[in-house]
Amino acid sequence: MSRSCARLRRGDDPAALMELYDRLAPLIYGYALTRTTPHTAVTVCRDALLSAWQQPTVFGDDRVPMAFTMLLIARRELADTTSAQHRPATRMRRLRKPTQPKHQRSTPERGHT
């Protein structure tokens, strides 16, 4: 895979990306699938491969296996994706949270509308 690594680092060889996909997509997808849903695993796999294509310098050290580097990228993408999925729910909980304690909130008097 060192030739693929060198071709990816140059960043001008789409065939190198296809080779990376053919070799490592099953590994990346399988890793993500053990941690999330099939739909999200596909997204993580796609984003990890796209990230590697856009930043080929991550393959700078030939001593580090490409699969290891790609799993690190997939791990980061998985964290980013799951964090983004939970963000709206967290924001909504925060918006619903009362700003004053219950005992300090003013309540309308009965009979006055």
Contacts by residues 32-39 (CB-CB < 8 Å, ≥ 24 positions apart): 32/74, 32/78, 35/78, 36/78, 36/81, 36/82
Query: What is the tens place of the pLDDT at every residue in 71-92?
Result: 999 999 999 887 776 666 554 5
Number of domains in the chain: 1
Range of the domain at 71: 2-86
- Whether residue 100 is contained in a domain is answered as no
The pLDDT of residue 65: 85
CATH code, domain with 45: 1.10.1740
Query: What is the tens place of the pLDDT at every residue in 13-56?
Result: 788 888 889 999 999 999 999 999 999 999 999 999 988 888 88
CA 15 to chain centre: 24
